[in-house]
A and B are shown apart, each in its own frame.
Chain A
Amino acid sequence: MAIQVKVLARPVAQVSYVNAMLSGMALTFKHLFREKVTVQYPEQKWDISPRWRGTHRMLTDEKGKAKCVACGLCPQICPANCIKLVPGEDEEGNRYPLIFEIDEFRCIFCGYCQEVCPEEAIHLGVHYENAEYSRAGFVYDLERLMAQTHPVCEMWDPADPKGE
């Protein structure tokens, strides 16, 4: 197949490389003294949106127990299939999670688990510094999810629920 070359008519009469070069040089020189836009990361941090969807948190009740009732909705809705939930029941008949693990590597941070949770227990967090030394470290168990302290994600702005 032949290469199709489209030759555009250019305003050749107006072309001046000397002028173009000088205006370019003037522009770059002006930038030398502009205010710098760099955020000095470890010292300064960007203000992230309250709707930021980061690694999860499990909220607790007054007694310090997880709010989760092991209803099984979040593993059901999870499109990445990253939540592992084994439900249990205590003597009073209250359901609680025996095992609740989230594989943060598989998670796509869609926020469906937070939306679907009837107890408002599992939340995404406003957080992004997640470095670990091993891959195993990214499977967050219940204890770890409860121990997180970062702010939780507001899935929508209460004043503007439809995101308008």
Chain B
Amino acid sequence: MIALPALARTDMIGALFQLQMAPNQQEPTLVWFTVFTIVKMLIVFTVLLVGVALLTLAERKVSAWIQDRHGPNRVGGKGGWLQPAADGLKNIMKEETYPGAAYKPLFILAPILAFVPALLTFAVIPFASPLPTPRGLVAMSVADLPIGFLYILALTSLGVYGIVLAGWSSNNKYSLLGGLRSSAQMVSYEIAMGLSTVAVLLVAGNVSLSRIIYQQATTVWNFFGLTIAFFLFLVAAFAETNRLPFDLPEAESELIAGYHTEYSAMKFSMFFIAEYSNMVTASALLVTLFFGGWDIPFTLWDNQAPWTGLKTLLTLIVFVAKLLFFLFFFMWVRWTLPRFRYDQLMSLGWKFMLPLALAYIVIIAGALLWLDWLGIRPGGMWGLLMGALNVTLAAIVFVMLDQGKLLSPASSRVRREEIARLRRMSVPSAIAPESGD
């Protein structure tokens, strides 16, 4: 590993490797490590799938409430708790249809390709503080990879294959259009997503998610320190998960159902599971990168050894609460903002978010370098200066850059000459009916 900053000596990983601790605070042996990992895999997989099923219910409930309706309330009592089970049963019992012109191998493979990366990405997200067991300390993420964030960037870009292949193999023009849109959209927003997090990685000095959480716990959550990075990441996350206002690959009103037009039964619901798993992962990433992950706010008690079961439980609850907030936020936004037009989507991604993310990296990197050069170490003064910088930048972006602009083109004013030019292009009678036809 590259030389860690001075902070590393007292951090969590450092504490993990100090071998003078009690046996339940030490790394487990290889055999037990394997056993723990398999158990964690099974638990996380099950919880994720059940959670996704419940999310479909939650989505329908939130949609209903926002539209002053009740939502599903027939299956399993007043809350409709068994609705996901009924939906699942229905999807399994339904006929699997294969369009005659579809390319069958890819048609079958596509839902799997959409589904697997969506589940895999959750593997590196730490969801609680390490759990001490008699056989050693268990990290509460399926795989605590030192390259955690890069792994996520790599895997989320795989998800697009499922959608593009579904669109192509269906041999349907709407599906193909949906697939193409999705590929363009995902490629565009992945750049903004990756660049927006560079600031986070710069401040943390590492790409390991547990390090990023530790850095936030010991200083301040990145939401308060790197607000613009948060909003860039948030927008990109919406685009990456194909959720409204960026659901162009589905776009019911334009493309029927987009890439999954031809799918039925369980293959269709696999696309849904993929979408919701992506949503869970995106929310988990937002929580981890910007809201301190499983960190309990205002206390360092939960971030230090000795680790206890109580700490694990409490941090898990805190993590789930933050996660649920973002999942709700996804649904809330869905019922507030209408869908972008395709050119608006592209110009927002390329002409606004990409330059902004690049400029932000330069500013943050410059500020960090400058503070380092001045000899100001992370601490009170450092936090104050970074906070002041953040407030200034947020004011510039959310007040100055926001005012007086139209969405298409997303990042520039419609000038008087431009309007005049457009008017000259149109037939005179359309704008000046009094002149006669």
Contacts and interface: CB of A to CB of B under 8 A. Distances in A.
Interface of A: 2, 4-7, 9-10, 12-19, 21, 24-25, 27-29, 31-38, 40
A15 B68 contact: no
A56 to B, nearest CB: 33
Contacts of A38: 68-70
Contacts of A2: 427
Contacts of B336: 21, 24-25, 27-28
Contacts of B93: none
Contact of A4 (B332, B403, B407, B427): B427
A46 to B, nearest CB: 16
A28 B406 contact: no
Given A12-B414, A31-B68, A7 B431 contact: yes
22 contacts: A5-B425, A5-B426, A10-B406, A12-B404, A13-B404, A16-B403, A17-B402, A17-B405, A18-B399, A24-B337, A27-B336, A28-B335, A28-B336, A31-B66, A31-B68, A32-B66, A33-B65, A34-B68, A36-B68, A36-B70, A38-B70, A40-B70
Contacts, number: 75
B68 A9 contact: no
B298 interface: no
B423 interface: yes
Contacts of A5: 422, 425-426, 430
A38 B80 CA distance: 15
A88 B137 CA distance: 97
B341 interface: no
Given A12-B404, A15-B406, A28-B336, A6 B426 contact: yes
Given A24-B337, A32-B65, A7 B423 contact: yes
Contacts of B70: 36, 38, 40
Contacts of B414: 10, 12
A7 B422 contact: yes
A31 B71 CA distance: 14
A106 B430 CA distance: 46
A116 B403 CA distance: 67
Contacts of B419: 7, 9
A16 B335 CA distance: 20
B333 interface: yes
Nearest to A21: B337
Given A9-B419, A13-B404, A16-B403, A25 B427 contact: no
B16 interface: no
A28 B330 CA distance: 13
B398 interface: yes
Contacts of A28: 66, 332, 335-336
Contacts of B402: 16-19
B18 interface: no
B68 A17 contact: no
A16 B336 CA distance: 16
A62 B426 CA distance: 76
Contacts of B399: 18
Nearest to B415: A12
B335 A37 contact: no
B188 to A, nearest CB: 19
Contacts of B404: 12-16
B426 A4 contact: yes
Contacts of A14: 404
A36 to B, nearest CB: 5
A15 B332 contact: no
A9 to B, nearest CB: 6
A150 B62 CA distance: 39
Given A5-B430, A7-B419, A17-B407, A37 B68 contact: yes
A29 B332 CA distance: 7
Interface string B328-343: 0000110111000000
Nearest to B404: A13
B409 to A, nearest CB: 12
- Which residue, of B332, B403, B414, B423, has the highest number of chain A Cβ atoms within 10 A? B403
A12 B65 contact: no
A13 B403 CA distance: 7
A36 B422 contact: no
Contacts of A7: 419, 422-423, 426, 431
A137 B398 CA distance: 65
Given A4-B429, A5-B422, A15 B405 contact: yes
Nearest to A32: B65
Contacts of A27: 336
B97 interface: no
A21 B329 CA distance: 13
Nearest to A35: B68
Interface string B154-197: 00000000000000000000000000000000000000000000
Given A7-B419, A27-B336, 12 more contacts: A4-B430, A10-B406, A12-B405, A13-B403, A15-B406, A18-B399, A19-B402, A31-B67, A33-B65, A37-B68, A38-B70, A40-B70
B337 A31 contact: no
A12 B406 contact: yes
B246 to A, nearest CB: 14
B375 to A, nearest CB: 37
Contacts of B66: 28, 31-32
B413 interface: yes
